[in-house]
Amino acid sequence: MMELTWSRRLRWSGRRASLSLAILALASMPMPVQARQSEESAKKIEEIQAQIESLSRQLEELKAAASKEAETEINPARPKVDPKWVEALEWREIGPAAMGGRIVALAVVEDDPSTFWVATASGGLLKTTNNGISFEHQFDREATVSIGDVAVAKSDPNIVWVGTGEQNPRNSVSYGDGVYKSTDGGKTWTNMGLKETYQIGKVLIHPTDPNIVYVGALGRLYGPNQERGLYKTTNGGETWEKVFYLDENTGIIDAVMHPNEPDTLLVAAYERRRDEFDVGDPAVKFGQKAGIYKTTDGGKRFTRLTEGLPTCKLGRIGLDWYRKDPDVVFAIVESERIGEGPKEPEGKKPALMGIQGQDAEAGASLTLVTPEGPAARAGLQAGDIVSEIDGKKVQTYQDLIDVIREKAAGDTVSLKARRGDEEKTFELTFAERGGQGGDPDRPFGASLGGQQENKQDEQGEEGFQTGGVYKSTDGGETWTRINSLNTRPMYFSKVRVDPNDDQLLYVLGIALYRSRDGGKTFSADASRDVHADHHALWIDPRDGRHLILGTDGGTYVSYDRCENWDHLNHLALGQFYHVALDTRRLYHAYGGLQDNGTWGGPVATRNGEGPANEDWLRIGGGDGFQCQVDPNDPDQIYFTSQYGALQRINLRTGERAGIRPPRKEGVRYRWNWNSPFRLSAHNSRIYYAAGNYVFKSLDRGDDLAMISPEITRTDRGSATALGESPVDPGVLYVGTDDGALWVTRDGGVQWVDVTDRLGLPGPRGISTIEPSRFEAGRCYVAVDGHRNDDDHPYLFVTEDYGQTWESITANLPRGSTRCLREDVRNEDLLYCGTEFALWFSVDRGSSWQTLDGGHLPTVAIHEVAVHPTAGEIVAATHGRSLWVLDVTPLQQLTEEVLSADAHLFDPLPAVRWKREPSRGGTNRKFYGDNPVSGGVIYYSLLEEADEVSLKIVDAAGDAVQSLRASRRPGLHRVIWDLTRRSEGRGGLAGLAAGRTPRGTPVPPGTYGVILDVDGETYRQTLRVDQDPTLPVSEVIVSDDDWRGPAEPELRDEDEEDELILD
What are the tens digits of pLDDT across the range 260-299?
Answer: 999 999 999 999 999 999 888 999 999 999 999 999 999 9
In the chain, % of residues over pLDDT 70: 88
Q: Residue 26's pLDDT is what?
A: 39
Q: Residue 41's pLDDT is what?
A: 64
Q: Residue 916's pLDDT is what?
A: 84
Look at residue 1016 and tell me whether its pLDDT is greater than 80: yes
Strand order in the sheet with 512-515: 494-498, 501-508, 512-515
Q: Residue 607's pLDDT is what?
A: 84
3-state secondary structure of 245: coil
Burial tier of 69 (Cβ tally within 10 Å: 0-12, 13-18, 19+): middle
3-state secondary structure of 757: helix
For the chain, the average pLDDT equals 89
**Strand segments (E) across 165-249:** 179-182, 190-191, 200-205, 213-217, 229-233, 241-244
| Structure letter (DSSP) for residue 403 | H
Q: Residue 833's pLDDT is what?
A: 98
User: Alpha-carbon distance 133 to 114, whole Å?
Assistant: 10
Q: Residue 60's pLDDT is what?
A: 52
Q: Which CATH architecture has domain 351-425?
A: Roll (2.30)
In the chain the first and final C-alpha atoms are separated, in Å, by 41
Taking CB atoms within 8 Å and a gap of at least 24, the contacts of 543-550 are 544/498, 544/499, 544/500, 544/501, 544/504, 546/113, 548/106, 548/108, 548/116, 549/512, 550/103, 550/104, 550/105, 550/106, 550/118
Q: What is the mean pLDDT of residues 583-604?
A: 96
Q: What is the mean pLDDT of residues 79-104?
A: 93
Instruction: Tell me if 930 sits within 8 A of 610, measured CB to CB.
Output: yes
Element (H, E) at 377: helix 374-378
Angle at 414 between CA 411 and CA 420, to 5 degrees: 135
User: Alpha-carbon distance 492 to 466, whole Å?
Assistant: 17
Q: Residue 25's pLDDT is what?
A: 41
User: Alpha-carbon distance 137 to 276, whole Å?
Assistant: 33
Q: What is the mean pLDDT of residues 637-659?
A: 95
User: Alpha-carbon distance 513 to 521, whole Å?
Assistant: 10
Fold (topology level) of 903-1055: Immunoglobulin-like (2.60.40)
Look at residue 1052 and tell me whether its pLDDT is greater than 90: no
Confidence of residue 398 (pLDDT cuts 50, 70, 90): confident
Burial tier of 238 (Cβ tally within 10 Å: 0-12, 13-18, 19+): exposed
Q: Residue 1038's pLDDT is what?
A: 44
Confidence of residue 367 (pLDDT cuts 50, 70, 90): confident
Q: What is the mean pLDDT of residues 737-755?
A: 97
Confidence of residue 956 (pLDDT cuts 50, 70, 90): very high
- DSSP characters over 829-888: -EEEEESS-EEEESSTTSS-EE--TTTSPS--EEEEEE-SSSSEEEEEEBSS-EEEEE-H
Q: Which of 41-55, 395-409, 736-750 has the lowest mean pLDDT?
A: 41-55
Look at residue 233 and tell me whether its pLDDT is greater than 80: yes
The candidate with the shortest Cα–Cα distance to 817, out of 770, 751, 868, 749, is 770
Q: What is the mean pLDDT of residues 44-48?
A: 63
Look at residue 29 and tell me whether its pLDDT is greater than 70: no
Look at residue 990 and tell me whether its pLDDT is greater than 60: no
Look at residue 16 and tell me whether its pLDDT is greater than 60: no
What are the tens digits of pLDDT across the range 504-536?
Answer: 999 999 999 999 999 999 999 999 999 999 999
To 10 degrees, what angle do helices 39-74 and 2-27 make? Answer: 160
Q: What is the mean pLDDT of residues 543-549?
A: 98
Q: Residue 62's pLDDT is what?
A: 53
Look at residue 13 and tell me whether its pLDDT is greater than 50: no
Q: What is the mean pLDDT of residues 1004-1010?
A: 96
User: Alpha-carbon distance 654 to 643, whole Å?
Assistant: 24
Look at residue 22 and tell me whether its pLDDT is greater than 60: no
117 or 52: whose pLDDT is higher?
117
Look at residue 112 and tell me whether its pLDDT is greater than 50: yes
Q: What is the mean pLDDT of residues 861-878?
A: 98
User: Alpha-carbon distance 20 to 23, whole Å?
Assistant: 5
pTM: 0.86
Confidence of residue 436 (pLDDT cuts 50, 70, 90): low
Confidence of residue 333 (pLDDT cuts 50, 70, 90): very high
The residues facing 481 across adjacent strands are 470
Q: Enumerate the domain spans of the chain.
A: 2-27+41-76, 351-425, 903-1055
Pairing of strands 291-295, 752-753: unpaired
In the chain, % of residues over pLDDT 90: 78
Q: Residue 744's pLDDT is what?
A: 98
Q: Residue 43's pLDDT is what?
A: 58
**Strand segments (E) across 115-159:** 116-120, 125-128, 136-137, 147-152
Look at residue 697 and tell me whether its pLDDT is greater than 50: yes
Q: What is the mean pLDDT of residues 625-643?
A: 97
Q: What is the mean pLDDT of residues 316-321?
A: 98
Look at residue 187 and tell me whether its pLDDT is greater than 80: yes
Give the other-Cβ count within 10 Å of 916's Cβ: 12
Q: Residue 1043's pLDDT is what?
A: 45
1055 or 753: whose pLDDT is higher?
753
- Side chain identity, residue 330: F
Sign of CA dihedral 95, 101, 107, 108: positive
Q: Which of 112-121, 308-317, 380-389, 987-996 has the lowest mean pLDDT?
A: 987-996
